[in-house]
Chains A and B, each alone.
Chain A
Amino acid sequence: MANDQNTVTLTIDGQEVSIPRGTTILQAAQRLGRDVPHYCYHPGLSSPAQCRLCLVEVEGAPKPMPSCVTQVADGQVVHTQSELALDMRRGVLEFYLVNHPLDCPICDMSGECKLQDYVHVEGRPHGRSREPKRVFGRDDFGGDVFYYGDRCVMCTRCVRFMTEVERDSRLTVVERGNRSVIDTFFDEGLDGTEWSGNIVDLCPVGALVSKDFLYKARAWDLTHTASICPSCSQGCNIELHTRDNRVQRLKPRENLEVNAFWMCDHGRLNYEWINRGDRLEAPLVRTAGSGEADTRAMGWKEALGVLLERADAAGTQPVRAVASPFMSNEDMAALRALVESLGGGEVVYRSVRAAEESVLEGLPTLARRKERAPNGRGAELIGFSRVGNDDGTGGLDDVARHDGIVLVLGDGLADQDAEFGASAALYVYLGTHGSPAAGHADFVLPVTTFAEQEGTFTNLDGRVQRFWPALRAPGAARPAWLVLGALLAERSGTEAPRSAAEVFAGLAQGSPAFAGLSYDDLGTRGATVNQPVSLPGD
C-alpha cells in the first residue's frame, strides 16, 4: 500500500488499515466497525483519557494504551480483543461497579446505559465487591437536569461540555478520589443556560437525567425516528422518540455540518404541541348556505370531488394563498402548483422572528436562530413572500377580504377574526387544528404535522433535509402534498403523486434552486440547494 506522509498503515485485530496521520486508535477501530468501550472520549469534546476503559494492547508498548488518545503509527499492531486488552477492561469495569448502584429497574437510563452494555459484553459475570456502596443522593442542577451522584462514572463529559462547548463553566468536579462528585458552582445551577440539556445526552449512564423525561418511558419501549427540529431555521438533525403514538422526547442526531451532536434546550423541550389531541380528523365541507349546520364531514374522495366542482364553478379567479413555514417543501410546492393551475396569484407566509439569536459559543455555526420556524427558507425558494409582523401576526388584510379564491395551508390564523374569508368566492382551509378564522371556510381539510409524514425542510443555509413519519395521523388527516397533489392531478388530468419523493422530484425539475437534488441524494444528512439564498431581514 502506497503511503504518503499523511497516511499511516497499521493493523487492528488482524485487519490492515490505512488512515490519516493524527487519527487515534479508537477512531481507526471505529472506522473498521470495531468499537472500543469508552466513557470520557466523545468526538465533540476534548479527550482527558481518564475513564481508562478504552485500553487496548499495542504490540511493543510497555502497558495497555488508552486508544482514545494514542495516535496511530506506521506498522503499529493493535489488539482490541486480546486477552490482555479484555482482561484490563474487565478489571476497569469491575471498578466501576464497586460503587455504581444496581438500581437499573428504577433508572431512567436503563436500556441505553453504556455501563449495562459494556458489562454485559465484557464484564465479569459476578462482582467481587462485598463492601457497602458510597451514597450521595440526588441533586437538582436546575434547568431540566437532575444529577444522581451514585450512578456517576466521573467521565466529566458534562463538565467539559459546559466549559468547552457552551463556554459557561457552571459545572465542576468537587472533592477528589472516590468522594468526587459533579456539582454546580454556588447555587446558580444550570438555570439560564440554553444548551445544558446536551449533558443528559452525553452522560453515558443514568447520572444526569432529564426532569421532563423522568419516569415517562423505558428506553426499550421507544421508537426512534430521524427528523428535523421544527423550532427554528437552524434545522438541527434530531430523533423523535415515540411511544403510544406520542412524542416522548427529542434527541439530537449527529450531523457535523448542521448541529454536530447538539441541540438547544428550547428545541428539545418544545414538542408537546405535536401531541395535541384536538385535531381535525375528517374533511368538512359546507354544502349550502353559510350556517354551521350546513357543514358536513365527508370522505376524501367525495370532498375533493365537491371541491373540484366548486373550483370549476368559481372559474378563473385571482388566488391568495397563505402557507405556514412549518409545512414541508413538498406541501408548499404542491400548494404553489395548485395556485398556478387555478390562474395564479399571491402566495405568502408568516413567521415569528426573534430579535436575538442564541449562539452556541463553542460551535458558532450552531444557534437558536431568529426565525422560529423550520422552513421559511424553503417557502422563499418556492416563491412565497413573507408578510406580517415579527411576532407572526398581521399582514393578511388583503387575504381576509379577498373576493377570489383563498387557500390557507397550516397557518392557524390565530390573530384573525371570524370574518376572515367571508367575501371569498372559495375558501379552503387546510390545517391540523380548527380555527375561529375558518368559520367561513367552504372546505376544512385535515392535514398532518411534520411528525406524521415524510418530507423535507430547507434550513436557513439552504440545506434541504429529510424527515420521516414517526406518528400515525389522527383520523383521516393526510399529508398536504397528497391532498393538494390529488386536486392538481384531477384538474390537469395527470397522475396524482404517490410519495413525497415524487413531489420533491417535481420540485427539483421545476425550480432551479432545487435542481439536481433527489431524496436518495439527501439521505439522512441533507444537501444544499444550488443558489445562494438570503431572506429579507436576515
Chain B
Amino acid sequence: MAYPYVSDREVRILSKHFGDPDQRRLEHARARGRYQALARAFEMGPDAVIEEVKASGLRGRGGAGFPTGLKWSFMPKKPTRPHYLCCNADESEPGTFKDRELMRWDPHQLIEGCLIAAYAIRAKHIYIYCRGEFFETTQILARAVEEAYEAGLIGEDILGSGVDIDVTIHVGAGAYICGEETGLMNSLEGRRGQPRIKPPFPAAVSAFGMPTTVNNVETLSAIPHIVEHGGAWYREYGTEKSPGTKLFCVSGHVNRPGNYELPLGFPLMELIDDVCGGVRDGHTLKAVIPGGSSVPILAADECEGVSLDYEGVQAAGSMLGCASVIVMDETTDIVKQVRRMVQFYAHESCGQCTPCREGTEWMTRILRRIEEGRGTEDDLDTLLDMSRHMTGTTICVLSDSAGAPVVSSIRKFRDEYLALIRRGERVGAA
C-alpha cells in the first residue's frame, strides 16, 4: 500500500483504505461494506443507535473528548422544530491532518457516519462545514455526496426506510476560529465567524436557532463501525475511559511522520521510537506537543511513560486534544516555536473578546522582542501574568490556547528565554 507510512502496530479501522483512490467511488466503497451499517441503523431505530454509541464509550475526536452518545442524547427526542447535524470538517489546529485524510480517502465512511448520526438525533439536514483551504478534499467529498444522492443513499426515503436526510457541504473562508462549534455556526449562517456565548448550548439553540449537534469528522467516521460491530467490540480497543482507536498525526523531527491509527492508551515513546522510526538520526528528543498547538508542551523527560489517552496525557500535565503529536529535537529554538504559535493565535483571534484580541498580539510582540535579544526578565513575569488574564476570561478558549505554550515553555525552558535575554544584554552593554 502506497500510503506514506504504515506500521504493524496500527489497528486500521477508520484508516483501512487510506491510499486507495478506488475507495472514493461509491461502487467500490459499497462492495467493501459501506452503507451496510446505515441499513442496520434503520432497523435498530434512533434510540437504540444512541444507546449503542453510548455503550461504545466513543469520545469526541475534535479535541474535547466529550462522550458522543451522551451529546446525542441531549437532543430533543420529539422534534418540534428542525434538528441539524453539523459535521465539523474545519480541521485547522496546527499539527492536525487526520480529518483531511479521512475525507480524502474514504468520503463514504464519513457520509455514512453522518447519515446514521442524523438519523439518531432526528435531523433531516446535515451540514458538512469544510475548511476553506481543503480544495481537493472538498471536491472529493462533493463528488461522493453527489454519487450517494444518485444512489438514493441521501435524499428522500433512503434505502426504502422512509427516512429523508439531505446533505449540504459548506465551505468556510479559512478561519481557524470557525472550527470552534459556535463560531462555525455563525459562519454557517453567513455571519462573522465569532464564537457565541454559551448558554444556550447547541443541543438547544444553534444552527439557525435550532437544536444542533456538532461532531468531528473522525468521530462520525467511527460511527458506522460501532453500529456494525457493536459498542462492546469497539471497547476491545483502547482503555476503559478512552475506548477505541484514534488517528495520531505525528509531525516534526521524526523519521516517519504521518497519520497512524492506534488504540488509545498507546505509549507516547513507542509512538515516536517504534511507529515513527524515532527522532531523526543523530538527534535527541527535546520536547513534544502531544495534542496540537493549543496544549502545554512536554519536555523530553516528561514523555517517558505517558500513555496516549485522554487521562494519561492529562496526568502528564498536558492534553490529548486531537492527538496531533509535534515532535521537536534539540535543534529546536523553543522561544521561536512558541512565538510562531502565539503569532498564529494572534492572526486567528476573531477579535471580539479584549483579552484575546489585545493579549495574543501583545504576547507576540514581547516574544519577538525577546527573540531579537531585546527582552528583560520582567517580560517573562509579564507574559505569565498576561496568560493568567487570558485564561478563562473569554467567550471561547482561543486565548487560553495561546497562553498554554507560553506558560509551559517558560516553566520548562526558562533557560532558553534567559539565554536570549542575557545575550541581548551583553550585546547591548558592548
Using a CB–CB cutoff of 8 Å, the interface residues on chain A facing chain B are 48-53, 55, 62-64, 66, 69, 87-88, 91-92, 94-96, 98-99, 128-131, 134, 153-154, 156, 172-173, 175-180
List of B residues within 8 angstroms of A179 by Cβ:
351
The answer to whether A177 and B351 have CB atoms under 8 Å apart is yes
Q: How far is the CB of B344 from chain A (nearest CB, A)?
A: 11
Q: Which of B346, B353, B360, B382 has the most CB of A within 10 A?
A: B353
Which listed residue (B347, B350, B355, B362) contacts A129, Cβ 8 A? B362
- CA–CA, A55 to B348, complex, Å? 24
- CA–CA, A402 to B159, complex, Å? 95
CB-based nearest B residue for A156: B352
Interface residues of B in 327-376 (CB under 8 A from A): 346-362, 365-366, 369
The answer to whether B393 and A55 have CB atoms under 8 Å apart is yes
The answer to whether B392 and A176 have CB atoms under 8 Å apart is no
Q: How far is the CB of B147 from chain A (nearest CB, A)?
A: 37
- CA–CA, A96 to B361, complex, Å? 12
List of A residues within 8 angstroms of B382 by Cβ:
128
The answer to whether A95 and B351 have CB atoms under 8 Å apart is no
List of B residues within 8 angstroms of A175 by Cβ:
351
List of A residues within 8 angstroms of B346 by Cβ:
177-178
Q: Say yes or no: is B386 at the interface (Cβ < 8 Å to chain A).
A: yes
Which listed residue (B353, B358, B393) contacts A64, Cβ 8 A? B393
- CA–CA, A331 to B227, complex, Å? 85
- CA–CA, A110 to B256, complex, Å? 61
Q: How far is the CB of A157 from chain B (nearest CB, A)?
A: 13
Contact of A98 with B358 at beta-carbon distance under 8 Å, contacts A177-B350, A180-B351 already known: yes
Q: Say yes or no: is B54 at the interface (Cβ < 8 Å to chain A).
A: no
- CA–CA, A173 to B353, complex, Å? 13
The answer to whether A178 and B357 have CB atoms under 8 Å apart is yes
Top 3 closest pairs, chain A to chain B, by CB: A91-B389, A63-B392, A177-B349
Q: Which of B349, B350, B354, B393 has the most CB of A within 10 A?
A: B354
Contact of A178 with B352 at beta-carbon distance under 8 Å, contacts A91-B388, A95-B359, A128-B382 already known: no
Contact of A49 with B349 at beta-carbon distance under 8 Å, contacts A95-B362, A129-B362, A178-B361 already known: no
The answer to whether A131 and B369 have CB atoms under 8 Å apart is yes
The answer to whether A92 and B357 have CB atoms under 8 Å apart is no
The answer to whether B393 and A177 have CB atoms under 8 Å apart is no
CB-based nearest A residue for B192: A173
- CA–CA, A66 to B198, complex, Å? 11
The answer to whether B353 and A52 have CB atoms under 8 Å apart is yes
Q: How far is the CB of A490 from chain B (nearest CB, A)?
A: 67
Contact with A along B215-247 (1 / 0, CB 8 A): 000000000000000000000000000000000
List of A residues within 8 angstroms of B392 by Cβ:
62-64
- CA–CA, A53 to B355, complex, Å? 9
- Known A173-B192, A177-B350; further 8 A-B contacts with Cβ < 8 A: A48-B197, A51-B353, A63-B393, A92-B354, A95-B362, A98-B358, A98-B362, A175-B351
Which listed residue (B354, B366, B388) contacts A154, Cβ 8 A? B354
List of B residues within 8 angstroms of A180 by Cβ:
351, 357
The answer to whether B354 and A95 have CB atoms under 8 Å apart is yes
Q: How far is the CB of B65 from chain A (nearest CB, A)?
A: 17
Contact of A53 with B351 at beta-carbon distance under 8 Å, contacts A62-B392, A92-B389 already known: no
List of B residues within 8 angstroms of A49 by Cβ:
197, 395
The answer to whether B349 and A131 have CB atoms under 8 Å apart is no
List of B residues within 8 angstroms of A98 by Cβ:
358, 361-362
The answer to whether B354 and A178 have CB atoms under 8 Å apart is no
The answer to whether A53 and B362 have CB atoms under 8 Å apart is no
Q: How far is the CB of A429 from chain B (nearest CB, A)?
A: 60
The answer to whether B349 and A153 have CB atoms under 8 Å apart is no
List of B residues within 8 angstroms of A156 by Cβ:
352
- CA–CA, A57 to B247, complex, Å? 40
The answer to whether A177 and B361 have CB atoms under 8 Å apart is yes
The answer to whether B357 and A91 have CB atoms under 8 Å apart is no
List of A residues within 8 angstroms of B350 by Cβ:
176-177
The answer to whether B366 and A131 have CB atoms under 8 Å apart is yes
The answer to whether A50 and B353 have CB atoms under 8 Å apart is yes
CB-based nearest B residue for A66: B197
List of B residues within 8 angstroms of A53 by Cβ:
354
Q: How far is the CB of A88 from chain B (nearest CB, A)?
A: 6
The answer to whether B360 and A178 have CB atoms under 8 Å apart is yes
List of A residues within 8 angstroms of B378 by Cβ:
128
Please name 11 pairs of A and B residues whose Cβ atoms are closer than 8 Å in the assembled complex, sorted by A: A48-B352, A51-B353, A52-B394, A63-B392, A69-B197, A130-B369, A172-B192, A176-B177, A176-B348, A178-B346, A178-B360
- CA–CA, A128 to B365, complex, Å? 13
CB-based nearest A residue for B348: A177
Q: Say yes or no: is B175 at the interface (Cβ < 8 Å to chain A).
A: yes
List of A residues within 8 angstroms of B393 by Cβ:
52, 55, 63-64, 88, 91-92
- CA–CA, A130 to B383, complex, Å? 13
Q: How far is the CB of B390 from chain A (nearest CB, A)?
A: 8
Q: How far is the CB of B180 from chain A (nearest CB, A)?
A: 13
The answer to whether B389 and A95 have CB atoms under 8 Å apart is yes
Q: How far is the CB of A122 from chain B (nearest CB, A)?
A: 13
- CA–CA, A53 to B393, complex, Å? 9
- CA–CA, A92 to B354, complex, Å? 7
CB-based nearest A residue for B349: A177
Q: How far is the CB of A337 from chain B (nearest CB, A)?
A: 60
The answer to whether B354 and A153 have CB atoms under 8 Å apart is yes
Q: How far is the CB of A100 from chain B (nearest CB, A)?
A: 9
The answer to whether B351 and A154 have CB atoms under 8 Å apart is yes
- CA–CA, A87 to B392, complex, Å? 13
List of A residues within 8 angstroms of B386 by Cβ:
91
Q: How far is the CB of B184 from chain A (nearest CB, A)?
A: 15
List of A residues within 8 angstroms of B388 by Cβ:
91
- CA–CA, A128 to B382, complex, Å? 8
- CA–CA, A95 to B353, complex, Å? 10
CB-based nearest B residue for A178: B361
CB-based nearest B residue for A174: B192
Contact with A along B174-215 (1 / 0, CB 8 A): 010100000000000000100001000000000000000000
Contact of A51 with B354 at beta-carbon distance under 8 Å, contacts A63-B393, A91-B393 already known: yes
The answer to whether A95 and B355 have CB atoms under 8 Å apart is yes
- CA–CA, A108 to B199, complex, Å? 38
The answer to whether A176 and B359 have CB atoms under 8 Å apart is no
Q: How far is the CB of B300 from chain A (nearest CB, A)?
A: 32
List of B residues within 8 angstroms of A88 by Cβ:
389, 393
Q: How far is the CB of A400 from chain B (nearest CB, A)?
A: 63
List of B residues within 8 angstroms of A99 by Cβ:
358
- CA–CA, A179 to B346, complex, Å? 10
